[in-house]
Amino acid sequence: MLRKFHTYPALISAVLIVFMAITGLVLSFEPLVAHFSTPASASATAPANVASLAAGVADNIANVQRIVRKPSGEIIAYSFGADGPVASYVDPATGANLGTYSPSAFFQFFTELHRSLFLGDNGRILTGLAALAMAILSVGGIFLTARRMGGFRHFFAKAKGTLSQRLHVETGRLSVIILSVLAVSGLYMSLTFFGLVGDSAAGGGFFFPQSSGDTPIAISELSALQDVNLKDLRELDYPAAGDATDVFTLTTASGTGYIDQTNGEMISFTPNSWSENLYQTFYILHTGQSSWIYALLLGAGALSAIGLVIAGLVIWWKRGAMPVRIKGNDAARSADHVILVGSEGRSTWGFAKTLHAALKAEGHKVHVGPMNALAKRYDKAEKLFILTSTYGDGDAPNSAKNFLSRLGKGAPVNHDRKPLDYLVLGFGDRSFSHYCAYAQKVDQTLEEAGLKRARPLFTIDKQSIQQFAEWGRGLTEVIGEAVTLHHVAEQNKTQAFVLETRRDFGQEFQRPKSILRFRPVEENKTTFQRLLARFLPEAWQAGDLFGITPPNGAFARYYSLASSASDGFVEICVSKQPGGQCSTYLTELKPGDRIEAFFRENTGFRAPKDDKPLILVGAGSGIAPLLGFIRANANHREVHLFWGGADPKYDFLYRDELMHFRQDGRLTGAQIAFSRGQTREYVQDKLRADSIFVANLLQEGARVMVCGGEDMASGVRQAFSEILSPLGKSINQLRNDARYAEDVF
Amino acid sequence: MKKLALALLVSTALIVPGSAMAANVNVSVNLKNYGAGGTYLAVYVVDSAGNYKQTLWVAGSRSRYWGHLSGWARGISGTNDRVDGLTGPSLGGGRTLNVSANIADSMLDAGYYVVVDSAIENWGQYPFDAAAPLSNGGTGSGKGFVNSVTVQY
């Protein structure tokens, strides 16, 4: 509901808001330009009362009609010269003419464009609607951000998600105050223009006060003008030349009045109503006329509005469409089989697509949708299939975030009000703890909600197509017919890389390891694409993953990157697994050989951009991302490495680099353990030996990053628990503060 | 059909006697060429003593700003005159406004004047900016935003 309240107005007004933002951005430079094109003495604030200024101007400028004090302090006099109206800067102290004031035609054009698009009242309605939309979006955005972050207390917590989501949240949080100010003030000015708020009579009342005598007195003697402080002056209109009955019309910060030019008395003074005061405040807030610095801040707000609209549209576009196209997807209400997908990326959707096609081939009507779209009623449905992965430590993946709360509002039934039969298929990776934990939770909760479990939870490890096919064969007993599931994993968009160098370690050893350095093949790329790939924030960095599908292999294997895009090469560390298809393929490559591979973000395992110390812990080829962090440590933050190998003679990976980085300051200290060396110790032993030092680092806010096998990771967790408990802390607390990250394989 | 014919008959009957005693007068108001746009103008007739007699045209659609055409506004505020059908959009600098109006024959060549008041947001207002005698070929030059005004019939 809240999201719709944000999305729909945005979709309707996107073009308009971008238009307003661009024109507003241009206008935000007007006060700056005006500031630097004002004659020097015109901005000096000399103490003068309005009577002496008005007299001085009348002496210096013939036929003066009106003087206006701009919010920035300059005094402009409008008069009629021989060739028509003239506007001049005047010295606030003396009223002397300082030269012609010519409002920039460029900015006048943009002002009119910004407030009416040159479409008259219709244009003003449009711009008013743009302000309204902006106000709605600001309010909705604040609440959505709070919801996304887990409450207003965490409003400024680190944004997560895709690049566009992060951009949208970060930009929104930074600019929401400016944008709200612009929206509310713009809206109020618009409503005032159309007379919907404020006093509609103001400025339009036909009230014509008259001076009482026959002979005007000297302007400098007008007592009502003498009483007005210069900084309170807004406008002063002189009486028509030669008309002794006419009056001075004075507008000050507090109201409007008329001054009898024959006795200097105020004839009538109407104080500003609250709505006029509000209007003036909003006018200054919206236009930034009082300060060019503030105006530039408004310009930054306009710029961020453009960014917000673009990032927001990207998010909407990606969310609106399912990540895969399902051919012949039936409507939820007419389907007899419903498949709901919980997925963070695309892979689980691919399996759903295969299942959908197979069931359709049997003549069923099948609906596929995200788990977030769970309905309370599926009229024709018999079976509900849930295909879901697990996010993190048992959390819901992106497309299932709202599933359990929706389920809590009512279990799905068919038109007979009979709860559906359901099957849950979990996707995960056994090498992680919490394997398929979310699928288990869903399986359990559906039963508790009163649905009938048609088959026990089935899990699929590392996207195994064999296991998927096996599950399909088992469906016979559930739906009465065999379902043949030939799943062909969707290929990631790969690019070509050529192996540049390889360094081998312990080839005579049971687990030979190789450091492979690839260079992207850039022959098909333009210079622009190459530059873009290097400088985009999206560019891959150390700790991200390098996905390689071996020839004839079914699915991609991921290797942590030991280099960043700015290094210009791709480095990974491969440990040859007995019988491992991909590691065998990689370790047999020769320099000059080509591979096809792709990058995948690993946002949970990146070196944070602060200056807190890093404690890097790893074993074996798990050193790869850690070395990448050290290599990228140009700012020489404090980095301590704890690493464990097998035997210093065979597998001391990156020894030379570590010594080099230790010397040039990128690495502060290193503790290396060898399980088959002279001392026979593990990396966790090194941590325990240094426990006081490590505890001190943690007290300073150090962040721990662990990479390696699960055995090592659990040993390291144990060691950190021991170090943390005297501090009254736990690993979970560190995790919650994003200070304990693991990349376990 | 009958109704339409009747309506035509009645309306023509109303117009024809009027036109017998009034002339169609063309007033042309040329503005000076300044940068600003949005000039509000009031074109009206005064007698030889400067008293308001009749409105010919008001340029500028927002009535709340009409008070700035103060000579005209002061004049019309003492009458029951309506300006329905006598208004149009405001003008940019350098443009010319052509007004065609019915004026009673008795006022032609009888010492009356066509007067123009002008006003522009921020730039100020100019009551009695320009005036031309209400006679065929009468002209006058402006002191404010108006360059010249000419009368023809």
Residues in chain A closer than 8 A to B144 (CB atoms): 65, 80, 84-85
**Residue where a domain stops, chosen among A432, A449, A479:** A479
- Identity of the highest mean pLDDT range in A235-249, A299-313, A348-362: A299-313
* A573 pLDDT higher than 70: yes
One-character DSSP codes across A100-115: E----HHHHHHHHHHH
Q: Are A445 and A572 in a shared domain?
A: no
Strand positions, DSSP E, A15-100:
64-69, 75-81, 84-90, 97-100
Mean pLDDT to the nearest integer, A224-237: 89
CATH code at position A743:
3.40.50.80
Mean pLDDT to the nearest integer, B64-87: 85
**Residue where a domain stops, chosen among A445, A479, A513:** A479
Report residue A322 as tokens. Answer: 């399912």
Which of B61, B64, B65, B81 is the mutation pick for testing A, counting most A CBs within 10 A? B64
- Identity of the highest mean pLDDT range in A84-88, A304-308, A693-697: A304-308
Provide the percentage of residues in chain B whose pLDDT is more than 70. Answer: 86
B77 touches chain A (CB under 8 A): yes
B141 touches chain A (CB under 8 A): no
pLDDT value of residue A432: 67
Confidence of residue A738 (pLDDT cuts 50, 70, 90): confident
Residue B123 C-alpha, separation from nearest chain A C-alpha, in angstroms: 6
Residue A65 C-alpha, separation from nearest chain B C-alpha, in angstroms: 6
pLDDT value of residue B38: 84
Using CB atoms and an 8 Å cut-off, which of residues 489-528 of chain A contact chain B? none
Residue B135 C-alpha, separation from nearest chain A C-alpha, in angstroms: 26
The C-alpha atoms of residue A636 and residue A652 are separated, in whole angstroms, by 24
Q: Are A497 and A473 in a shared domain?
A: no
Report chain A's terminal Cα–Cα distance, integer Å: 40
Question: HEC states along A458-499?
Answer: EEEECCCHHHHHHHHHHCHHHHCCCCCCCCCCCCCCCEEEEE
B128 touches chain A (CB under 8 A): yes
Tell me, yes or no, whether A28 lies in a domain.
yes
Using CB atoms and an 8 Å cut-off, which of residues 53-82 of chain A contact chain B? 63, 65-66, 68, 78, 80
How wide is the angle at C-alpha A172 spanned by C-alphas A167 and A176, nearest 5°? 165
Main-chain dihedrals φ then ψ at residue A368, nearest 5 degrees: -115, 135
Dump pLDDT digits (tens) for A329-343. Answer: 888 889 999 999 998
Residue B28, classified by CB atoms within 10 Å of its CB into exposed (0-12), middle (13-18) or buried (19+), is middle
Q: Are A632 and A547 in a shared domain?
A: no
Nearest to A203 among B65, B71, B93 (CB): B65
**Any idea how long chain B is?**
153
Q: List Cβ neighbours of A696 (8 Å cut-off, separation of 6 or more).
A: none
Tell me if A359 sits within 8 A of A483, measured CB to CB.
yes
Is A202 in Cβ contact with B74 (below 8 Å)?
no
Residue B125 C-alpha, separation from nearest chain A C-alpha, in angstroms: 8
| Residue indicated by tokens 């009045």 | A257
Q: Are A629 and A583 in a shared domain?
A: no
Report residue B114 as tokens. Answer: 């066509």
The C-alpha atoms of residue B136 and residue B151 are separated, in whole angstroms, by 6
Is B126 in Cβ contact with A204 (below 8 Å)?
no
The C-alpha atoms of residue B87 and residue A429 are separated, in whole angstroms, by 78
* A318 pLDDT higher than 90: no
Domain holding A647, by residue range, is 607-745
Closest CA to A641 of A673, A664, A602, A680: A673
Q: Count CA atoms within 13 Å of residue A218 on its CB side.
A: 8
Nearest to A204 among B64, B89, B124 (CB): B64
pLDDT value of residue A529: 60
The C-alpha atoms of residue A251 and residue A254 are separated, in whole angstroms, by 8
pLDDT value of residue A320: 54
pLDDT value of residue A531: 61
CA nearest to A102 within chain B: B35
Tell me if A733 sits within 8 A of A698, measured CB to CB.
no
Closest CA to A464 of A487, A441, A480, A482: A487
Closest CA to A744 of A555, A586, A560, A570: A560
Provide the percentage of residues in chain A whose pLDDT is more than 90. Answer: 34
Is B34 in Cβ contact with A85 (below 8 Å)?
yes
Residue A638 identity (one-letter amino acid): E
Residues in chain A closer than 8 A to B122 (CB atoms): 68, 78
Confidence of residue A492 (pLDDT cuts 50, 70, 90): low
* B83 pLDDT higher than 90: no
Q: Residue ranges of the alpha helices (H) in A321-436?
A: 347-361, 403-408
| Residue indicated by tokens 């309605």 | A125
* B25 pLDDT higher than 80: yes
The C-alpha atoms of residue B128 and residue B69 are separated, in whole angstroms, by 9
Strand partners, B115: B44, B131
pLDDT value of residue A29: 95
* A203 pLDDT higher than 60: no
Question: Domain total for chain A?
Answer: 5
pLDDT value of residue A438: 93
| Residue indicated by tokens 């709340």 | B64
Give the range among A239-248, A464-473, B10-19 with minimum mean pLDDT.
Answer: B10-19
CB atoms near residue A663 (< 10 Å): 9
CB atoms near residue A609 (< 10 Å): 7
B34 touches chain A (CB under 8 A): yes
Q: Count CA atoms within 13 Å of residue A274 on its CB side.
A: 0
- Identity of the highest mean pLDDT range in A58-67, A208-217, A289-298: A289-298
Dump pLDDT digits (tens) for A617-636. Answer: 999 889 999 999 999 888 89
Residues in chain B closer than 8 A to A202 (CB atoms): 64
The C-alpha atoms of residue A497 and residue A546 are separated, in whole angstroms, by 11
DSSP 3-state assignment of A644?
A: strand
* B13 pLDDT higher than 50: no
Mean pLDDT to the nearest integer, A634-642: 91
Confidence of residue B118 (pLDDT cuts 50, 70, 90): very high
Mean pLDDT to the nearest integer, A717-743: 85
The C-alpha atoms of residue A37 and residue A34 are separated, in whole angstroms, by 5
Confidence of residue A19 (pLDDT cuts 50, 70, 90): very high
B125 touches chain A (CB under 8 A): yes
Closest CA to A49 of A234, A256, A226: A226
List chain B domain ranges.
40-152
A206 touches chain B (CB under 8 A): yes
Q: Are A505 and A465 in a shared domain?
A: no
* B19 pLDDT higher than 50: no
Q: Are A354 and A461 in a shared domain?
A: yes
ipTM: 0.70
Give the range among A217-231, A340-354, A476-490 with minimum mean pLDDT.
Answer: A476-490
Mean pLDDT to the nearest integer, B77-100: 87
**Residue where a domain stops, chosen among A252, A279, A306:** A279
Residues in chain B closer than 8 A to A237 (CB atoms): 124-125
Higher pLDDT, A677 or A686: A686
Q: Are A613 and A728 in a shared domain?
A: yes
Tell me, yes or no, whether A94 lies in a domain.
no
* A661 pLDDT higher than 90: yes
Q: Are A223 and A303 in a shared domain?
A: no
Residue A47 C-alpha, separation from nearest chain B C-alpha, in angstroms: 25
Q: Are A614 and A713 in a shared domain?
A: yes
Mean pLDDT to the nearest integer, B11-29: 66
Give the range among A201-210, A333-342, A556-565 with minimum mean pLDDT.
Answer: A201-210
pLDDT value of residue A441: 94
Strand partners, B120: B39, B124
Dump pLDDT digits (tens) for A77-122. Answer: 988 777 667 889 998 888 889 888 887 889 989 998 999 998 878 9
B70 touches chain A (CB under 8 A): yes
Residue A64 identity (one-letter amino acid): V
Residue B87 C-alpha, separation from nearest chain A C-alpha, in angstroms: 16
Closest CA to A488 of A337, A338, A353: A353
Higher pLDDT, A483 or A152: A152
Q: Are A656 and A735 in a shared domain?
A: yes
Residue A92 C-alpha, separation from nearest chain B C-alpha, in angstroms: 18
Is B66 in Cβ contact with A208 (below 8 Å)?
no
Q: Are A503 and A591 in a shared domain?
A: yes
| Residue indicated by tokens 């081998």 | A504
Q: Are A29 and A176 in a shared domain?
A: yes
Mean pLDDT to the nearest integer, A448-471: 85
Instruction: Give the count of Cβ contacts less than 8 A between chain A and B.
Output: 69
Mean pLDDT to the nearest integer, A528-542: 62
Tell me if B69 sits within 8 A of B125, measured CB to CB.
yes
pLDDT value of residue B10: 45
Is A237 in Cβ contact with B64 (below 8 Å)?
no
Mean pLDDT across chain A, nearest whole number?
85
CB atoms near residue A578 (< 10 Å): 8
Closest CA to A105 of B16, B92, B149: B92
Dump pLDDT digits (tens) for A130-164. Answer: 999 999 999 999 998 887 777 788 888 777 667 78
Confidence of residue A388 (pLDDT cuts 50, 70, 90): very high
Q: Determine how β-strand A545-548 pairs with β-strand A513-520.
A: unpaired
